[in-house]
Every structure is written in C-alpha cells, then in structure tokens.
Chain A
Amino acid sequence: MIDLQKAFELVVNIGLPHCLLLSAVLFSIGLFGLLTRRSIIAVLMCVELMLNAVNINLVAFNRFGSMPDHAGQLMAIFGIVVAAAEVAIGMALAIKLYRERNTINVDELDELKG
C-alpha cells in the first residue's frame, strides 16, 4: 500500500531529485531530436538543449548539495561560454556547408561511408 501522505510530500517538496529528473527529461528530448532531425540546424539546437540539461544539473547540485561556494554555477557559466563558442562555429560550418553542397541535411552528408 502506497503511503499517500509520503507520496504527496515526495512530489511537493522540491529538491535535488526533481531538478535532476527535469534535466534527464530535457536531455532525453534533446537526444531524441538529435537522432531524428535531418536539418543540421535542428541538430545543433538539440545539442543546445542537451547542454542546458547538463547546466541544470550543475546549478541544482550547487543549490541543494553541500557546496560551500558558487563553483557549480561558475562551471555552468563556463558551460554556457563553451556552448556559445560551439554554436558560433557550428552555424559557421552549417553556412559553409550550405554554400558548398547546397544542402544542410545530415543524411545526405555520408562521406564517412565505408
């Protein structure tokens, strides 16, 4: 028999597991998009989603974990910086690709085929 009172408290008392689960949901959605989208820009956006999911983890651990300082948030900021660099380069590559091949669909870029 499930203890309703305890289950209610588990749902209502927001803590670390909730944030982590949210992050997991977001990451999985990003992964699904990464695997199914054909447009390279959409793929890039999904990667951004996954990166943000990771950042949620960092912030959540910083908030609920026994951290004495803001190191977790700082890491999230570094993550944002790297993501920004990544999206800039990624978009540049996408534009270059479009100019060279006139397509941005990843399934048409199969030069790695063995």
Chain B
Amino acid sequence: MFDFALQSAWLIPLLPAIAFAVIGLGTRQNKQLSAKIAIAAISVSFVLAWSVLGAVLTNNITVEAPFIAKTVWTTIGKIELAMGMLIDPLTVVMLTVVTTVALLVEIYSLGYMAHDPGMGRFYAYVSLFVASMLGLVLAISFFQMYVFWELVGLCSYLLIGFYYYKVSAREAAKKAFITTRIGDFGLLLGIIMLQIYVGTTDFAELQLQLPHYIDVSGTGMLTLIAFLLFIGPIGKSGQFPLHVWLPNAMEGPTPVSALIHAATMVVAGVYLIARAFFLFNQIPIVLEFIAWLGAFTAIFAASIAITQRPMKRILAYSTISQLGYMMMALGVGSVTASMFHLMTHAFFKALLFLGAGAVIEAMHEEADIFKMGGLKERMPVTCKAMTVGVLAIAGIPPLAGFFSKDEILAAALEHNFFLFLIGSITAFMTSFYMARLLFVAFYGELKDDCPAEETNDFMRYPLVILAGLSVVSGIWGHFFGFGEWVRFGAPVHEGINFFVAFSSVVLAAAAIWLAYAIYVEKRWSAHGLAARWGIFYNLSYNKYYVDEFYVIVRYYGCFVVARILYWIDLNIIDGAINMLAKLTGAVGGTLNRAHCGSVQAYVICFYGGAILVMGYALIYAYKVLSMAGGAF
C-alpha cells in the first residue's frame, strides 16, 4: 500500500485536477453532484497523501535521499524541462497538511455554500486550487514550481473574485493578482537567471552543482538571484510591503480564506524557501534580510491586528504576522521550526477562519466583532473550537502553537537577541488580539437582536477535527521527532528551551489577562485607551496608511507619468502612426489607378513581368555560356 502510494503520488494532484475538469465541463449546474465529485477526489488524495507519509517513514526516505521520479516534458534548445515529483519529508508535511485542510474545508463548504447558486463553480475552483497547490508541493524544479505557482495565483484570483457581482470582490481580486504579480515577476527573473548562470533549475541537480558554481564564480550573481527569488515569496506570502492584498482577499468565501489565504497558498513562499534552502543557505546576507523582513512583518501586522474590528480582517493580519514568523525562522536558519510552525499554523488558522465563517454566517454577514457578543451561549461548539484555536495561536501549552512558536523563538534567540525580542513582543500582541477577538465576540453580553444559532453538522465537525489537530499536532511533532525528520543539515535539538518557553507562556498569559481585563471586566475603557494613544491607535487602525501610500504613489507617481506618456502617445507615437497611415493612403490612392479593372491590362503586366524574368535569365545564361566557351 505504501509503496503503491509512493509510486502513484502523481495521482494526488491529478485527481483534484480531474475533478475540476469534470465539474467545470459537466456538472457545474448540479450543486450536490459537483460537491460529491470534488470531495471524493480530495478524499482519495488525502488517503494517498497519508500513505505517502507512511511510505516515507518506512522506506527510509530522508531529506538527503529523496524519492525522485521525473520525465522530460519538453526540450527548448539545450534546456531540458522535466516534470516529476520530488518526495522527501518536507514534501510529505505539505502534502498531508494541504490534503487534510482541503478535505475538511470542502466538507465544511457543504454547509457553508449550501445556499449559494455558484456552489458547483466553487468546488471546481477549489479542486483546481488543490491540484495546483499539490503540484507545487511535488515540484522537482523551480520551473515546475513556477508553473503551479502561477496556477495557484490564478485560483486565488478566481476565488477572491468569487462573488464577482460585488464591486469590492472584483477590486480585491484584481489587487491580489496585480500585487502578487510583482512578486512573481521577481521570481521568474530569478529562475531565468538561475537557468542562465547555473544551468539548471532542478532542485537535486542544483544542490549538486551549486558548490562548483560558487567555487568558480563566487556568490555575487547568486546573491542577486536569491534576492529575486525571495521577491516571489514576499508577494505570495504577504510580506511587507506586498502584504496589502491579503486582508482584501477576505472578500472571497470564508472557506477559501481558510484554505488558501491562511493555511496553504500563502505558505507557498515559505515552502519555496525551505525547498531551496540549500541555495539561500549559501548567502548569509539574504538570510539575514529574510529574517529581519519576517520579523518586521510579524510585528507590523500584529500591531495592525490589535485595532481592527472585522473578524476576518483580524485573522488576515494575524496570518501575515504568523507568515512573518515563519520567514524569520527561515532567516535564522531553522527550516524545522519554520515548517513545524507552518503545519501547526495551518491547522489552527484554518480552524479560526472556519469558526469565523460559522460566526459570520450565523450573524447574517455581520463581521464586526463589536456587534457580536455572548455567542458562547448560542454557539457552544463553535465557541469551544475557537477557544482552542485562540489558545493554540497564543502559545499556551500543550497546544500546537506553544511548541512551534517556542522552536522559532529558540532559534531566533540563538541567532540574534533582538529578533527574539521582536518575536516575543509579537507573541504578546498575538495573544492579546486573539484574546480580544474571543472575548468580544463570544463572551460578554448577548446582544438583544442577535440572530446567531449553532451551525449545521457539516460545518461543526470539521471545526471539531481541526481543534483536535490543533491540540495534538504540536505534541505529536515535538515528541515524535519532527526536527530529526524535517530539517536542513544536521538534526535539530529537540529539548525545550525553558527560558524561551517560560517567557513566552508568561507573556501570552499576561496578554490574555490584559484582554480579559479590558474587554470583559472593563477595568479600563477600550475607548479611553484608544483616545489616550490616539496617534498609535489611528496608525494601527488605518494599517499604517500603507494602502493610502500606494494610492498616493499610484496617483502622483503613476498618474503623472501616465499623463506624460499619454501625451507622448497621443502626439508623437500616434502622430507617427497617423503620418504612416496618411502616407500609405496616398500611395494606395496613386496605385489605385493601376487597378483599371481590365483583365487584359493585368495580363499585359503579367507578361511584362515574365519577359523581365526571362530577359534576366537569358543574360545570365549568355554570360555562363560565353564563359564556358559557348555552344555558338
């Protein structure tokens, strides 16, 4: 069974792709059938993915000795482009996480999308997304990864704009697509330069050839390549300054937010760097840059999340912050911590998003947490699941977030104390705003006109399962040797750094107590605090005016340039074109007279041409014959 799964791992992305084709071409109108097809496909992929995990564990496949199967896809000149699958523990972690979350989200969507007329379309898009994401995970080369990278970008665009009749959804889809395009462009440039300078984009070959390349050519060009490659993850994983699309991406259906914009697609950037860590590892300056950018993004997004009011937006900024965490972990050289946090984050963030979706649907599309309150009584299961999620992300032991965050902070501490400090402050903020969300929305007084009811089974059980995973995945990872298994270089130590653990738990507990004091006990007035720290509050509430900054840049930068270009276009380029057109018209008008319509005049011209050709041939033949002595 395991070997079969390993050999047919290519089926994992293929099945959802087939589901996409079947739904998209055939059963789109039939909601229930479409959902069943999609869920059947992802279920088989799910089983296969977990069997691949078994195969990797039993067949002794490690990061040093991955399982690679590939076939030549096409040859362009000397460049041979291969498609295939690379399976090592890194891949398997992503495979299992993606298929698990995708399966739960698709089941959840049975309830969430039940009344949406576009449900068939939804399942088609989600299947395509899952297929692309799994293809990305299995990629053997930068090139293949880029293909699927763009595909997941497309799916993200389609799903953010799922409610295409809403202007905000359309705008958000456009924004996401264009913003990530900037990053993709850098990534593409990096891949092309990699192909040109090193001669391959295949991960395994690259790993072999890179030391020779560095011996011969040094790391100068490689530094540029690594920076360019990193621009892709900046866009896709929502790092500062290209994070602006991610909060807007919440215009899509909530299950999509959970699946794509929290658990899977946005971590593609993290995965890309982890996959190509052998490359980044050669260039410490880029790693340093990644670490500091990640840390900055983490604290930056966390400080925004503190003041936001819509539930999904809080979670979106939380996602950006956590992605920054993962980037920081990569930057300080710990693939293990990063991937561990990626896994646990996928579970508890999907849980939080799905819970938020349940709440928002129960509240009839009301997303502002301050218009909720006391939902604990109305939605007990959702409330318990959300509480688990919040505690997990806050890092309360023994939940998942505690272990993964602890590893990241420990790695940061080994690297640089300031990074550790930023990480700890971020952890404090994270605990605070998540506790704020929980207390405001679920505790406190029940509003009189609250329409909320407990959700249906389809939506409830995935929450429960994800809550269970949020509890156990940390323990499981910690005690069953995640660090010896998913790693770069030597196995990572597995002990808990008690200083880090103690400080982070204390900080998290303090933050939760603070939130409790402000929002439940009302010991301090939230409004009063906001008024007292007006500048900071406004900065945070308005997301540091990054969007406005972009608008200004776009207006005064692009608009002015565009006016100039418009003038040039109108007067110089169009003028030249118009002149050309007039010239052509004049020539045509003159030549037009030659078209007298008389067939015989045409025949005269035809034979005139024939005579010219014959005359030339005769002169040529005469020259040749006279040179040869002649037959005359």
* Chain A residues proximal to chain B, CB less than 8 Å: 31, 34-36, 106-107, 109-114
Task: Please determine whether B598 and A107 come into contact, CB atoms closer than 8 angstroms.
Answer: yes
Task: Please determine whether B597 and A111 come into contact, CB atoms closer than 8 angstroms.
Answer: yes
Bound CA–CA A76/B165 (angstroms): 73
Task: Please determine whether A112 and B595 come into contact, CB atoms closer than 8 angstroms.
Answer: yes
Task: Please determine whether A114 and B599 come into contact, CB atoms closer than 8 angstroms.
Answer: no
Whether B71 sits at the interface, judged by CB under 8 Å, is no
Complex interface: chain B residues within 8 A of A36 (CB): 600
Task: Please determine whether B592 and A106 come into contact, CB atoms closer than 8 angstroms.
Answer: no
Residue of B600, B603, B607 touching A107 (CB-CB under 8 A):
B600
Bound CA–CA A31/B603 (angstroms): 9
Task: Please determine whether B598 and A114 come into contact, CB atoms closer than 8 angstroms.
Answer: no
Q: Could you pull out 11 A-B pairs where Cβ atoms are within 8 angstroms?
A: A31-B607, A35-B600, A107-B598, A107-B600, A109-B597, A109-B599, A111-B597, A113-B596, A113-B597, A114-B594, A114-B597
Bound CA–CA A36/B604 (angstroms): 10
- B397-431 interface bits toward A, Cβ cutoff 8 Å, 1 = contact, 0 = none: 00000000000000000000000000000000000
- The total of interchain contacts (Cβ-Cβ below 8 angstroms) comes to 29
Bound CA–CA A9/B137 (angstroms): 92
Specify the chain B residue showing the minimal Cβ separation from A110.
B597
Bound CA–CA A34/B603 (angstroms): 9
Complex interface: chain B residues within 8 A of A107 (CB): 598, 600
Bound CA–CA A109/B599 (angstroms): 8
Complex interface: chain B residues within 8 A of A35 (CB): 600, 603-604
Chain B interface size band reads: 10 to 19
Residue of A106, A111, A113 touching B600 (CB-CB under 8 A):
A106
Task: Please determine whether B597 and A112 come into contact, CB atoms closer than 8 angstroms.
Answer: yes
Specify the chain A residue showing the minimal Cβ separation from B591.
A114
Report if A113-B599 is in contact (Cβ < 8 Å); known contacts: A31-B607, A35-B604: no
Residue of A31, A34, A109, A114 touching B595 (CB-CB under 8 A):
A114
Bound CA–CA A36/B603 (angstroms): 11
Most chain A CB neighbours (cut-off 10 Å) among B592, B594, B596? B596
Complex interface: chain B residues within 8 A of A106 (CB): 598-600
Bound CA–CA A52/B153 (angstroms): 71
Q: 4 closest pairs, A vs B, by CB?
A: A110-B597, A114-B595, A113-B597, A114-B592
Complex interface: chain B residues within 8 A of A31 (CB): 607
Q: How far is the CB of B595 from chain A (nearest CB, A)?
A: 3
Task: Please determine whether B607 and A113 come into contact, CB atoms closer than 8 angstroms.
Answer: no
Q: How far is the CB of A10 from chain B (nearest CB, A)?
A: 13
* Chain B residues proximal to chain A, CB less than 8 Å: 592-600, 603-604, 607
Complex interface: chain A residues within 8 A of B607 (CB): 31
Specify the chain B residue showing the minimal Cβ separation from A34.
B603
Bound CA–CA A31/B595 (angstroms): 21
Excluding A107-B600, A114-B595, 8 further A-B contacts by CB distance (< 8 Å) are: A34-B600, A106-B600, A109-B599, A112-B597, A113-B595, A113-B596, A113-B597, A114-B594
Bound CA–CA A24/B350 (angstroms): 91
Complex interface: chain B residues within 8 A of A111 (CB): 597
Bound CA–CA A106/B604 (angstroms): 14
Most chain A CB neighbours (cut-off 10 Å) among B598, B603, B607? B598
Q: How far is the CB of A97 from chain B (nearest CB, A)?
A: 13
Bound CA–CA A35/B593 (angstroms): 20
Q: How far is the CB of B154 from chain A (nearest CB, A)?
A: 49
Complex interface: chain B residues within 8 A of A109 (CB): 597, 599
Complex interface: chain A residues within 8 A of B593 (CB): 114
Specify the chain A residue showing the minimal Cβ separation from B588.
A114
Q: How far is the CB of B610 from chain A (nearest CB, A)?
A: 10
Q: How far is the CB of B7 from chain A (nearest CB, A)?
A: 63
Complex interface: chain A residues within 8 A of B600 (CB): 34-36, 106-107
Specify the chain B residue showing the minimal Cβ separation from A36.
B600
Bound CA–CA A31/B592 (angstroms): 26
Bound CA–CA A112/B596 (angstroms): 7
Bound CA–CA A36/B593 (angstroms): 21
Specify the chain B residue showing the minimal Cβ separation from A106.
B599
Specify the chain A residue showing the minimal Cβ separation from B607.
A31
Bound CA–CA A31/B608 (angstroms): 12
Complex interface: chain A residues within 8 A of B597 (CB): 109-114
Complex interface: chain B residues within 8 A of A110 (CB): 596-598
Specify the chain B residue showing the minimal Cβ separation from A40.
B599
Specify the chain B residue showing the minimal Cβ separation from A37.
B600
Most chain A CB neighbours (cut-off 10 Å) among B593, B599, B603, B604? B599
Q: How far is the CB of B295 from chain A (nearest CB, A)?
A: 74
Q: How far is the CB of A57 from chain B (nearest CB, A)?
A: 15
Bound CA–CA A36/B596 (angstroms): 16
Bound CA–CA A35/B600 (angstroms): 5
Most chain A CB neighbours (cut-off 10 Å) among B594, B596, B597, B604? B597
Complex interface: chain A residues within 8 A of B594 (CB): 114
Bound CA–CA A60/B598 (angstroms): 35
Complex interface: chain A residues within 8 A of B604 (CB): 35
Specify the chain B residue showing the minimal Cβ separation from A109.
B599
Bound CA–CA A112/B592 (angstroms): 11
Bound CA–CA A92/B271 (angstroms): 76
Complex interface: chain A residues within 8 A of B603 (CB): 34-35
Specify the chain A residue showing the minimal Cβ separation from B594.
A114
Specify the chain B residue showing the minimal Cβ separation from A31.
B607
Q: How far is the CB of B172 from chain A (nearest CB, A)?
A: 55
Q: How far is the CB of B174 from chain A (nearest CB, A)?
A: 48
Specify the chain B residue showing the minimal Cβ separation from A107.
B598
Complex interface: chain A residues within 8 A of B596 (CB): 110, 113
Q: How far is the CB of B523 from chain A (nearest CB, A)?
A: 92
Bound CA–CA A113/B600 (angstroms): 13
Complex interface: chain A residues within 8 A of B599 (CB): 106, 109, 112
Bound CA–CA A114/B604 (angstroms): 18
Most chain A CB neighbours (cut-off 10 Å) among B592, B596, B600? B600
Bound CA–CA A107/B600 (angstroms): 8
Complex interface: chain B residues within 8 A of A34 (CB): 600, 603
Complex interface: chain B residues within 8 A of A114 (CB): 592-595, 597
Q: How far is the CB of A14 from chain B (nearest CB, A)?
A: 20
Specify the chain B residue showing the minimal Cβ separation from A38.
B600
Bound CA–CA A112/B602 (angstroms): 11
Bound CA–CA A36/B598 (angstroms): 12
Q: How far is the CB of B592 from chain A (nearest CB, A)?
A: 4
Q: How far is the CB of B116 from chain A (nearest CB, A)?
A: 60
Q: How far is the CB of A34 from chain B (nearest CB, A)?
A: 6
Bound CA–CA A109/B593 (angstroms): 17
Bound CA–CA A111/B597 (angstroms): 6
Bound CA–CA A106/B597 (angstroms): 10
Specify the chain A residue showing the minimal Cβ separation from B596.
A113
Bound CA–CA A113/B598 (angstroms): 8
Complex interface: chain B residues within 8 A of A112 (CB): 595, 597, 599
Q: How far is the CB of B256 from chain A (nearest CB, A)?
A: 60
Bound CA–CA A9/B46 (angstroms): 100
Complex interface: chain A residues within 8 A of B598 (CB): 106-107, 110
